[in-house]
Structure 1
Amino acid sequence: MPRIFTGLEVPETMAEELALLQGGLTGARWNDPNDFHITLRFIGDVDDRTANDIADMLYAVKRRPIEVTLTGLGSFGGDKPRSVFIEVKASQPLVELQAEHERIMRRFGLQPESRKFRPHVSLARLGRETTSRGVADWIALRGLFMSRSFLVPRFALFSAKDSVGGGPYVVEETYPLAA
């Protein structure tokens, strides 16, 4: 497992619905709906032994299923947009689950995550030709995004192809949320 992270899977029916938002943005490299997820903790490139130890330690997480609410569209990068995404409400159970993953990774000696947790589902990575005006127009045209919710019964340990980012992602292990 060269590059790993923990996250929540997006149900197939929801992923199909979100995929309908894709298209119409110059320079966008749209993510495959099968790769839609909510990252909890990016771990990065680790050796197989560390990956296996992390996979085992994640079984200690005991939480209830989480209701995930998708709230709207957004982008990262400001004047130099790098991605567009679906925003996810940072509910207390979701934030607590992410914080527990962070604590587990710190026990393995990993550096703390430098960015504040902002849950989201990435729709596309953007190229240099994508303008902030283009992103604003794209979001405005889809401005009637209706909030959607779904129940998450488990989290997963994913692996990613060694590349500059993006899928395909493989679910290596799943962990029930049923405390």
Structure 2
Amino acid sequence: MIRAFVALQPPEAVVGALVAAQAGLPEGRPVARENLHLTVAFLGEHAGPVIEDVHYALSAIRLPRFDLSLRGLDLPGGDRAKVLAAGVDPEPKLRLLRDKVLQAARGAGIDFPRERYLPHVTLARFNAGLRGEAAERMRAFVLDGAGFRTEPFEVAGFALWRSHLGRSGPIYEALAEYPLAGGRAEGEGP
């Protein structure tokens, strides 16, 4: 079985900004630099042939490149938060990419639960959630990081990833990369 997801890999300058945002983290386990990514869709665990079918379906996606920027820190779930996340500026083209990825994966036989998509980059994890003073320290950390923002960066492609779970945390392996079309979509300007 292969535990897989589709994600965007931020450019090195953005990864550097994300690592800097982790500095002084009062609680939790920071996500390793090489694991920082923006999940487009979590596929779950499937047999190799299913993931291969997903690969071929993802290869058929044709969309133009687009720009994204990250901003602010958040504890999704409030007091029940299990992660610290960097938010993503709203971008309809990211939603379109997600819709196309879900459509491709469904066509390969993967079912998805109905859930709200909140694009983010996970910066830290809290195994047991946050309570008491730990929650207070993290809320203060999030308030201090409210001004976090990256310059817009071009999303030139996405990738299919495999997650190997282990005691010291996950190890991610890129299985395939899918470029987005160069240039801008028709009627978008320069």
TM-score for both structures, normalised by structure 2: 0.86
CA contact (8 A) 1:72 1:147 kept: no
SS of 1:101's equivalent in the other structure is helix
Which shows bigger deviation, 85-94 or 24-33? 24-33
In the TM superposition, residue 13 of structure 1 has moved relative to its aligned partner by 2.1
| Runs of 5+ unmatched residues, structure 1 | none
Q: Of residues 127, 131, 136 in structure 2, which corresponds to 1:133?
A: 136
Q: Which residue of 2 aligns with 1:150?
A: 153
Q: Which residue of 2 aligns with 1:10?
A: 10
Q: Which residue of 2 aligns with 1:33?
A: 33
Q: Which residue of 2 aligns with 1:106?
A: 106
SS of 2:143's equivalent in the other structure is helix
Cα RMSD for the two superposed structures: 2.0
In the TM superposition, residue 165 of structure 1 has moved relative to its aligned partner by 10
C-alpha separation in 1, matches of 2:37 and 2:90: 15
Deviant stretches of 4+, over 6 Å: none
Query: Radius of gyration: which is bigger?
Result: 2
C-alpha separation in 2, matches of 1:129 and 1:55: 34
In the TM superposition, residue 55 of structure 1 has moved relative to its aligned partner by 0.7
C-alpha separation in 1, matches of 2:66 and 2:113: 22
Aligned residues: 179
C-alpha separation in 2, matches of 1:147 and 1:16: 10
C-alpha separation in 2, matches of 1:33 and 1:39: 15
Task: Using the aligned pairs only, state the percent identity.
Answer: 26
SS of 2:152's equivalent in the other structure is strand
CA contact (8 A) 1:82 1:126 kept: yes
Return the letter of the residue paired with 1:173.
A
Q: 1:147 to 1:11 in 2, by over 3 A?
A: closer
Q: Which residue of 2 aligns with 1:20?
A: 20
Q: Which residue of 1 aligns with 2:72?
A: 72
TM-score for both structures, normalised by structure 1: 0.90
C-alpha separation in 1, matches of 2:9 and 2:172: 11
Q: Which residue of 1 aligns with 2:186?
A: none
CA contact (8 A) 2:82 2:129 kept: no
| Runs of 5+ unmatched residues, structure 2 | 183-190
Q: Of residues 164, 171, 176 in structure 1, which corresponds to 2:174?
A: 171
Q: After superposition, what is the alpha-carbon deviation per residue over 1:32-52, rounded to whole angstroms, capped at 9, x for unaligned?
A: 111111111110111111111
CA contact (8 A) 1:26 1:129 kept: no
